[in-house]
Structure 1
Amino acid sequence: MCGITGYIGHRDSVPVLLKGLRRLEYRGYDSAGIALLQDNKIAHLKKAGKVSDLQSLVDDSPIKGNCGIAHTRWATHGEPNDINAHPHLDQTGNIALVHNGIIENFETLKEVLIDKGVLFTSDTDTEVLVQLISLLYYEDETISFEDAVRAALQEVVGAYGIVTICADEPDTIIAARMGSPLVLGVGDNEYFLASDASPIVGHTRNVIYFEDGEMVKLTRENHVISNIFSKEVLTKTLSEIDLSIEEIEKGEFPHYMLKEIHDQKHSITNTMRGRLNLDDGTTHLGGIADCMPNLLSASRIYITACGTSWHAGLIGKHLIESYAQVPVHVEYASEFRYRNAIIDPNTVLIAISQSGETADTLAAVIKAKELGALTLGICNVVGSSIARETDAGIYTHAGPEIGVASTKAFTAQVTILTMLALKIGRKMGVTIDRGQNLISALNRVDDDVQ
């Protein structure tokens, strides 16, 4: 997981990009870099270490321009060092690219490029993509930079969120998404790109969330979104960010994890707000109301997730089996998506993800839907991929979680699973007294956490 950001507009891009990287540093912090168009040339700086190390490098070697891209890295291919840090440039030095994801067929593509005389300087899969774009762009004088990017992406197998610039077309940014999140912020004759909304919220609340297979061409005046493969121009509506600056700042705390530990009193309460019904000893979960008949008649329930969300799923299994008497299987999404699981129209799949963008979990959802299962999402980010892809779902309302080690997202997920288990259980014969006892205990949780 890495963080990418981009800017084109009327102001100096460097402060915008560096501030954005600091907001995205939870996504990766072993190296960082920046590239921008300065006097119609690519100027770039990158450094192993944290964003603060990049900031020091920028202070010592000032660069300036109103169109640029930046990246903070969590290494997958190639060790964390200056050379493997993003942005990566092509061999002409005229194209720069940042990438979040994994190019699975990069070795095959790299062999083809080497046979054509392309020289590589890093060990990353990302450099293969920028060199491929370059080869296509400069081999055909009639092709635009946008179409060169499009053609290169059609050769790629894997996941990516990319942002790229070219000195030959200096007032343009091209970005694309396939399996890795990407958000476009729309300002007044300026645009912001980022892996999530946190770098954007301080500049504009108007955003567009990209779907897989979409790309965008940005100039200062307008944006054109199209399908990577068909070239069909797409019209997408603006969404408004429901996020405050205070939620993504550390405030009085020395680091995000401590802040988010203390946030749990509020995040658990926010997750339960309006959803507890003491009189009837049950819960109100409007997001899944239409799916209750399917849940009640399910022959099996799968919970799939990764990391901390998987651990929340283990607790959810115990709760659902205890209250609803329905067999529940908890699966790592990275394994579930590839194995021959028993799935039919009487199957329910519950996908848990804080961000709603976990690639393996999203792939598991798509697989289950193709096989006829009902899919439900439990996630924290409105408008995220899993929230859009699942048939129905429940938001946790935990607020943004920036610390790498999960705290409030985990307890909010367990809270949702508790309410879900009770909701099903009451429909399946759990007594009102037992339901009221659990609701009363949930109402006391904020005091217990405090």
Structure 2
Amino acid sequence: VCGLFAYAGRVNAVPVLIDGLHSVEYRGYDSAGISVITRSGNIETQKRGDHKASLDNLHKAVIEDQLFGFVGIGHTRWATHGVVNRANSHPHSSVDGSISIAHNGIIENFLEIKDKLIDSGVTFSSETDSEVIAHLAGTYIAKGYSLRDSVVKAVSHIKGNTVVIAIAASEPEKVVGLRLGNAGGIVVGKTNDTAVMASDTVALIPHTEEVIYLESGEVVEIECGSIRLFDFNGASIGRKAVKVNQNFQAAQKGTHPDFMSKEIAEQPEAVQRALAGRVNLVTGGLEMPEIPLTANQIRSINRVIVTGMGTSLHAGMFGASMIESLARIPASAENSSELRYRNPAIDPNTLVIAVTQSGETADTLAAMEYASERGSAQGAVLEQEGSQAARIADFTLPINAGQEIGVASTKTMISSMTTLLELAVFLSKSRGIIDFNRVRQVVDQLAELPSLV
């Protein structure tokens, strides 16, 4: 997992990039770096591989060097290829320095590509898989291709899920972003004189309230106040921006010493938001208006699979237990990274529930696509309603926890569990397993939960 941020505008990109990287630092903080196109038209890169001190040390370095440019890209990293050091930090550049890229994902065939590039005379400066993208794209730039076409052609050689952002000296006012598969998200937004791109919506909130999410197989160009979206064949894509449901203050620590302390303190309010619009504390009723399934469809469900990764999987274990206990439907929790590989029996009578806070977890998206191919109904328990998971699912169950920055999940965990318990009660009620009095009993207990956290 890595954090990406890019900027094109009319003010110095360097402090904007540093602030943007702070917003996505929770996605990786063993390395950090930025590349900007300077006023001379050259690409200049500064990066550090100093573990948790990387971003602070990078900030000091760019101030000391008085780095300046109106267009740039940035990256924070959790290492998957190569040790943590400056050379392995992103962004990576082509040999001639004509292009700089930052990457999130894993290139499964990078050794094969690397060997071919070395045979052609390319010298590598890192141990990462990502560097092959810079050199591949650089060869196309040298042949006269545009930045967008060069990145698309470079990625055509790659096997694996990939997100790339790139700048080129030949097009100094532009940043290109590309998404292939489920390597994480990429989201863009703009104002009249600014355009920004990031791996997470929270990084865009200080700049805009309306964003566009890229889907797999899409590439975007941003310039000062402009966004252009295309497919890999170059066909233009028209997509309206959506308003984000986060706020900048929610992403700040306030008086708390760290984000984890802040998010622990926010758990009671997060539970209340997960209950809002679903439980009626006066009548004791519970409804889930987000679920479009008919009564017959709900009664035909003969199996529920709850899938997720990490904390989401643990919330899913609780959810599966509640669904089987209350709704009397066989239910299990499945690790998303393993689900599709073990060839599970999934059919149209299976209900698959994906739990993913970001809605962009690569393995969970792959598991959802596997289930879709087999005709199962799907729901997604998530925070980000405009995410890829929301687009795959038949319905979404927002947890409404608010942005969670801390790596150790707190309010997202309890909000996911609350939402899954609501789902279990709803399925049980809809199938006639429990009566109104039992529903009211659960609702009364849920009403007490915020004060018990």
| 1:26 alignment partner AA | Y
Question: Partner of 1:64 in structure 2?
Answer: 68
Deviation per CA, 1:161-194, whole angstroms, max 9, x where unpaired? 2110111221221111122200111111320011
Identity of aligned residues (%): 37
Shift in Å, 1:104: 1.5
CA distance in 2, matches of 1:93, 1:5: 20
Shift in Å, 1:277: 3.2
Is 1:351 aligned to residue 354 of structure 2? yes
Is 1:41 aligned to residue 42 of structure 2? yes
Question: Partner of 1:232 in structure 2?
Answer: 235
Residue 437 to residue 221, structure 1, CA distance change in 2 (3 Å): closer
Contact 2:46/2:61 (CA < 8 Å) preserved in 1? yes
Any idea what SS the aligned residue of 1:433 has? helix
Written as runs of structure 1 = structure 2, the 5 A alignment for 1:16-35 is: 16-35=16-35
Written as runs of structure 1 = structure 2, the 5 A alignment for 1:281-320 is: 281-290=284-293, 292-320=295-323
Deviation per CA, 1:373-413, whole angstroms, max 9, x where unpaired? 11111111120110111111200000000000000100001
| 1:411 alignment partner AA | I
Any idea what SS the aligned residue of 2:211 has? strand
Shift in Å, 1:209: 1.0
| 1:173 alignment partner AA | V
Is 1:154 aligned to residue 156 of structure 2? yes
| 2:217 alignment partner AA | G
Give the superposed CA RMSD: 1.3
**Mean alpha-carbon deviation: is it higher for 75-84 or for 289-298?**
289-298
| 1:202 alignment partner AA | P
Question: Partner of 2:271 in structure 1?
Answer: 268
Contact 1:291/1:392 (CA < 8 Å) preserved in 2? no
Shift in Å, 1:214: 0.6
Question: Partner of 1:123 in structure 2?
Answer: 127
Question: Partner of 2:172 in structure 1?
Answer: 170
Is 1:439 aligned to residue 440 of structure 2? no
Any idea what SS the aligned residue of 1:338 has? helix
Residue 370 to residue 70, structure 1, CA distance change in 2 (3 Å): same
Q: TM-score, normalised by structure 2?
A: 0.96
Any idea what SS the aligned residue of 1:35 has? strand
| 1:445 alignment partner AA | L
Shift in Å, 1:289: 3.4
What number of residue pairs does the alignment pair up? Answer: 446
Is 1:411 aligned to residue 382 of structure 2? no
Is 1:332 aligned to residue 335 of structure 2? yes
CA distance in 1, matches of 2:291, 2:254: 35
Contact 1:282/1:423 (CA < 8 Å) preserved in 2? no
Contact 1:294/1:374 (CA < 8 Å) preserved in 2? no
Deviation per CA, 1:315-365, whole angstroms, max 9, x where unpaired? 111111111000002110000022211011111111100111111111111
Structure 1 spans left out of the alignment, 5+ residues: none
1:248 to 251, 254, 261: 251
Question: Partner of 1:10 in structure 2?
Answer: 10
Structure 2 spans left out of the alignment, 5+ residues: none
CA distance in 1, matches of 2:294, 2:101: 43
Residue 357 to residue 293, structure 1, CA distance change in 2 (3 Å): farther
Shift in Å, 1:59: 2.2
Deviation per CA, 1:96-125, whole angstroms, max 9, x where unpaired? 111111111111111111111111010111
Question: Partner of 2:107 in structure 1?
Answer: 103
Shift in Å, 1:244: 1.3
Is 1:194 aligned to residue 204 of structure 2? no
Question: Partner of 2:429 in structure 1?
Answer: 426
Question: Partner of 2:221 in structure 1?
Answer: 217
| 2:366 alignment partner AA | A
Contact 1:356/1:380 (CA < 8 Å) preserved in 2? yes
Is 1:136 aligned to residue 140 of structure 2? yes
2:186 to 182, 205, 219: 182
Any idea what SS the aligned residue of 2:23 has? helix
Question: Partner of 1:257 in structure 2?
Answer: 260
Residue 333 to residue 291, structure 1, CA distance change in 2 (3 Å): farther
1:364 to 364, 367, 382: 367
CA distance in 1, matches of 2:294, 2:310: 27
| 1:155 alignment partner AA | H
Deviation per CA, 1:400-443, whole angstroms, max 9, x where unpaired? 00000000100001000110111111223212222111100100
CA distance in 1, matches of 2:385, 2:295: 22
CA distance in 2, matches of 1:221, 1:448: 48
Any idea what SS the aligned residue of 1:58 has? helix
Contact 1:280/1:432 (CA < 8 Å) preserved in 2? no
Shift in Å, 1:295: 2.9
Shift in Å, 1:292: 4.9
CA distance in 2, matches of 1:244, 1:222: 23
CA distance in 2, matches of 1:296, 1:90: 58
Deviation per CA, 1:49-83, whole angstroms, max 9, x where unpaired? 33112112212222000000011111111111111
Contact 2:148/2:219 (CA < 8 Å) preserved in 1? no
CA distance in 1, matches of 2:103, 2:302: 42
Question: Partner of 1:51 in structure 2?
Answer: 55
Any idea what SS the aligned residue of 1:191 has? strand
CA distance in 1, matches of 2:450, 2:12: 45
